[in-house]
Chain A
Amino acid sequence: MIEIQGLTKEYDGRRVVDDLSFEVRPGLVTGFLGPNGAGKSTTMRLVLGLDRPTAGRALVGGRPYTELTQPLRQVGALLDAHALHGGRTAGGHLRWLAASNGLPQRRVDEVLAQAGLADATGRRIRGFSLGMRQRLGVAAALLGDPPVLLLDEPVNGLDPEGIRWIRNLLRELAAEGRAVLVSSHLMTEMALTADHLVVIGRGRLLADATTAEFIERHGRTRIRVRAVNPTKLAALLGSDLLRQSDPDADLAATQVDDGAWEVTGAEPEQIAALAAAHGVVLYEIAVQQDSLEEAFMRMTADNVEYRAEAAA
């Protein structure tokens, strides 16, 4: 479990992380979202004791990282897949890491196999693709079999098979009861992987909710309709008739493509009844939920401060 309490980091008077508080709980994959430069990597560096916070603190298992006994047994981290010496072999890199925390050398072969790099043990890292480096970084994170994992953009550079591998791996690690914090800017990937979301912008906490709650709160439900006679549908939905049918609700309709319309703020029954009352024959009524990406864009757009910052 990771506890972040009032964490603040300033570089040259500029706040990169601003009074951030959240928890990463065991048994869940927590997605750490935010645009580039939002402070995700800095937050992770602060958790790992690589940078010193200006204020606040980050605890792992109740203690600051720098005070952990054999930290690799407590936290596995992947920060930057490039931060390796290319002259070492994959096995050589993991061997010194294992030795540094008194881990048995057999763990090296185990995690390399787990990361699909068993054949690359004796190969120099220099010749690795970005995807292979990411796999090696994940292998290094798993070395101490830690209850907490912290992965910064692990899917970068992975091919579709690799993305699928990491998605399943993260789900398994969480199912085993580990706390998993994974940052990404790939919303569709996070929607598939994360149970919980922590969203930050300009170093500030914007949302801390389950993935389902987040989409429900910030996304919209749209009803997509299509009529046999598109002209009649356009006349109905393009006029004030829709709004007049339920003045209390915030109904809105927009034409999307080749005669299809999307209505927000209404229930599908209402649309069906309205169409029937005006003799419009519908052949499609589909309820569509915003994706995580759409919910995220809507949420950051709603956040006045964030928008002002982004425009700056």
Chain B
Amino acid sequence: MSPDPDPDPGSDSVPIFTALNAERIKLTTLRSLWITPLLSFVLTAGGTTAVTAALGGKDHTITDDPGVGVFYGLNFGQAALACFAILLIGQEFNTRMIDVSLTAVPRRGRLYGAKLTLGALVGLGVGSAGTAGSFAGYAATVPGAWDGPGFARSATAGVLYPVLLVVFCLGVTTLLGNLTAAMGLLVPVVFLLSPLLGGVPGVRRVVQFLPDRAGQYALHYADDPRVSYGHWTGLLIMALWTGAAAYGGLLALRRAK
């Protein structure tokens, strides 16, 4: 019958690395899952370069803070990256392929952990490449200091922000257990409502604590007197949101029907 009976019955079930490898193959075998991170990089680095090339030399008002100018493209790039994260787990819910995944990797925490790890790694890749590309594009088109005080922090945040964003979106999508609901909630709130309301004086006091607002503050070189926390604290606030979302997703996935 089975020519290859269980080689090691005593071993733990599917190890995390094996599960991670399976998630990697899931990503490479589905076009939408590898195009979106690629698009995110192109929009991030290309967006910055295009805008600074067009305006940077002439109009310094938009690039008053080099951190704002360098990461101008991230405003576009992060939308593609959030879509990636939502699709990464959301399409499993909507196609009900999650059942097939759970029969292959029955430990829910392990499947989820592999998913988050893969997402974080992609976020790290996009963050590193996007940050390097953005700085390169900015330095090539805008004369003046891009390496002033705050550069190291801004660059670090540029790498970490996409990682946190991906994990946050994965967590929320898993919490909702639905691709469409996650798109409907995350995309408008994070990319439309949050930046817009951030400009409204009264609401601003609350909106500044939303994950994207807080995380992006760490990208700035200069202090903003209207923000009631420091740059690193901003990244920490986003990390807390991310941790909460990831944990909420785990609880939702564990709670069997």
The chain A residues found within 8 Å of chain B, CB to CB, are 11, 45, 48-52, 65-75, 77, 79-80, 82-89, 92-93, 95-97, 99-102, 140, 145-147, 176-178
Distance in angstroms from A128 CB to nearest chain B CB is: 13
Residues of the B chain whose Cβ atoms lie less than 8 Å from the Cβ of A84:
95, 97, 100
Cβ–Cβ contact B11 & A69, under 8 A: yes
The answer to whether B149 has its CB under 8 Å from any CB of chain A is no
Q: Which residue of A lies closest to B104 (CB)?
A: A100
Of residues 32 through 59 on chain B, the ones whose CB sits less than 8 Å from some CB of chain A are 32
User: A68–B104 Cα gap in the complex (Å)?
Assistant: 10
* Other contacts beyond A83-B100, A88-B29, A177-B1: 19, CB < 8 A: A50-B99, A52-B256, A70-B6, A71-B14, A71-B103, A71-B106, A79-B99, A82-B96, A85-B30, A85-B95, A86-B95, A95-B29, A96-B23, A97-B22, A100-B14, A101-B14, A145-B2, A145-B3, A147-B2
Q: Counting chain B CB atoms within 10 Å of each CB, which of A88, A89, A92 scores highest?
A: A88
User: A92–B34 Cα gap in the complex (Å)?
Assistant: 14
Cβ–Cβ contact B103 & A48, under 8 A: yes
B13 contacts which of A48, A69, A95, A176 (Cβ < 8 Å)?
Answer: A69
Total of A-B residue pairs, C-beta within 8 Å: 116
User: A48–B99 Cα gap in the complex (Å)?
Assistant: 9
Q: Which residue of A lies closest to B255 (CB)?
A: A52
CB<8 Å pairs between A and B, sample of 14: A11-B257, A66-B107, A67-B13, A72-B104, A82-B95, A83-B95, A84-B95, A84-B100, A100-B19, A100-B101, A100-B105, A145-B4, A147-B2, A178-B1
The answer to whether B206 has its CB under 8 Å from any CB of chain A is no
The answer to whether B62 has its CB under 8 Å from any CB of chain A is no
Cβ–Cβ contact A92 & B104, under 8 A: no
Number of interface residues of B (CB under 8 A): 39
Distance in angstroms from B108 CB to nearest chain A CB is: 9
User: A267–B99 Cα gap in the complex (Å)?
Assistant: 54
The chain B residues found within 8 Å of chain A, CB to CB, are 1-4, 6, 8-14, 18-19, 21-23, 25-26, 29-32, 91-92, 95-97, 99-107, 256-257
Distance in angstroms from A93 CB to nearest chain B CB is: 7
Contacts A69-B12, A145-B2; A83 near B31 (Cβ below 8 A): no
Cβ–Cβ contact A51 & B256, under 8 A: yes
Q: Which residue of A lies closest to B256 (CB)?
A: A52
Q: Which residue of A lies closest to B108 (CB)?
A: A66
Cβ–Cβ contact A73 & B104, under 8 A: no
Distance in angstroms from B84 CB to nearest chain A CB is: 14
Q: Report, nearest first, the 5 A-B pairs whose CB atoms are least far apart.
A: A92-B29, A100-B22, A52-B256, A96-B25, A83-B96
Residues of the B chain whose Cβ atoms lie less than 8 Å from the Cβ of A86:
95
Residues of the A chain whose Cβ atoms lie less than 8 Å from the Cβ of B8:
69
Residues of the B chain whose Cβ atoms lie less than 8 Å from the Cβ of A65:
103, 106
Contacts A83-B96, A85-B95; A99 near B25 (Cβ below 8 A): yes
Cβ–Cβ contact A49 & B9, under 8 A: no
Residues of the B chain whose Cβ atoms lie less than 8 Å from the Cβ of A101:
14, 18, 104
Q: Chain A's interface: helix, strand, loop or mixed, by majority?
A: loop
Distance in angstroms from A36 CB to nearest chain B CB is: 19
Distance in angstroms from B138 CB to nearest chain A CB is: 36
Residues of the B chain whose Cβ atoms lie less than 8 Å from the Cβ of A73:
2, 4, 6
Contacts A50-B102, A84-B100; A96 near B29 (Cβ below 8 A): yes
Cβ–Cβ contact A85 & B256, under 8 A: no
Residues of the B chain whose Cβ atoms lie less than 8 Å from the Cβ of A74:
6
A49 contacts which of B18, B22, B102 (Cβ < 8 Å)?
Answer: B102
Cβ–Cβ contact B1 & A147, under 8 A: yes
Contacts A50-B256, A79-B99, A80-B99; A146 near B2 (Cβ below 8 A): yes
Residues of the B chain whose Cβ atoms lie less than 8 Å from the Cβ of A70:
6, 13-14
Contacts A69-B6, A87-B30, A99-B25; A51 near B257 (Cβ below 8 A): yes
Residues of the A chain whose Cβ atoms lie less than 8 Å from the Cβ of B103:
48-50, 65, 71-72, 75, 77, 79
User: A209–B21 Cα gap in the complex (Å)?
Assistant: 44
User: A89–B100 Cα gap in the complex (Å)?
Assistant: 16
Cβ–Cβ contact B102 & A96, under 8 A: no
Q: Counting chain B CB atoms within 10 Å of each CB, which of A11, A48, A73, A100 scores highest?
A: A100
Residues of the B chain whose Cβ atoms lie less than 8 Å from the Cβ of A80:
96, 99
User: A82–B6 Cα gap in the complex (Å)?
Assistant: 30
Q: Which residue of A lies closest to B30 (CB)?
A: A87
Q: Which residue of A lies closest to B23 (CB)?
A: A96
Contacts A52-B256, A145-B4; A92 near B97 (Cβ below 8 A): no
Cβ–Cβ contact B14 & A97, under 8 A: no
User: A207–B136 Cα gap in the complex (Å)?
Assistant: 73
Residues of the A chain whose Cβ atoms lie less than 8 Å from the Cβ of B30:
85, 87-88, 92
Residues of the B chain whose Cβ atoms lie less than 8 Å from the Cβ of A89:
29
User: A73–B18 Cα gap in the complex (Å)?
Assistant: 14
Residues of the B chain whose Cβ atoms lie less than 8 Å from the Cβ of A178:
1
User: A264–B82 Cα gap in the complex (Å)?
Assistant: 71
User: A220–B1 Cα gap in the complex (Å)?
Assistant: 39
Residues of the B chain whose Cβ atoms lie less than 8 Å from the Cβ of A85:
30, 91-92, 95, 97
Residues of the A chain whose Cβ atoms lie less than 8 Å from the Cβ of B26:
96
User: A95–B256 Cα gap in the complex (Å)?
Assistant: 27
